[in-house]
Chain A
């Protein structure tokens, strides 16, 4: 079975500062993919960043980067130079090749304070 755990229901960060959102997962598969999605108040889910499990190099997308620790099954998201528009729910997700489906965590509500 696949599970994704986000242990921080809410977080806040000052504008221009850096924040890290935590995510741990469990899977029996050897090849899988991990994602971070952002859901602003508009409810539209937006892909932030993704990581292939077989790649050791951490993925980066502009101000967003991940710290992927495969042995520890940890996949944290770092947001640098936080902006007001980063205020949203952030979901960590794992894609299972077996079932062709995503498994999502319960989300972290991030507020960027001006």
Chain B
């Protein structure tokens, strides 16, 4: 594809519901990153994938958060039993490899609002 895409663009959900956020990286990019951007805050790193593997899940805010990546391509970030503090923009980025020499390309994000 031309760039990183994310869906949905916006999601409004009720407290306690589960949500799934999707990221389609640039074709051929093996590295994929998830970030959370809360109002007035910078980007908070959540997790990265090298291929289908996530070596370090310690950045996920709680055990309600999980992420997976299949086929070395699409990734989903799942938030179970959403809380109001989960409201944020969730950004996904991809790069050729997990190395700083490779530029990260960001998607437009999913704005999640928990009511």
A-side residues, CB < 8 A to B, are 4, 6, 33, 42-47, 91, 93, 95, 97, 99-107
Contacts and interface: CB of A to CB of B under 8 A. Distances in A.
B101 to A, nearest CB: 8
B56 interface: yes
A105 B40 CA distance: 11
A106 B39 CA distance: 10
Given A33-B100, A100-B48, A101-B48, A45 B91 contact: yes
Contacts, number: 51
A100 B57 CA distance: 12
22 contacts: A43-B91, A43-B109, A44-B107, A44-B108, A45-B93, A45-B104, A46-B106, A47-B104, A91-B43, A93-B43, A95-B100, A100-B55, A100-B56, A101-B45, A101-B59, A102-B35, A102-B43, A102-B104, A103-B45, A104-B43, A104-B44, A105-B42
A25 to B, nearest CB: 12
Contact of B56 (A93, A95, A99): A99
Nearest to A31: B100
A101 B48 CA distance: 8
Contact of A47 (B59, B91, B103, B108): B103
Contacts of A104: 35, 42-45
A78 B33 CA distance: 28
Interface residues of B, number: 24
B100 A43 contact: no
A110 B108 CA distance: 20
Contacts of B93: 45
A6 B41 CA distance: 11
A106 B41 contact: yes
Contacts of A47: 103-104
Contacts of A45: 43, 91, 93, 104, 106
Contacts of A42: 108
Residue of B56, B100, B104, B109 contacting most chain A CB atoms (<10 Å):
B100
Contacts of B33: 101-102
Interface string B36-67: 00001111110010000001100100000000
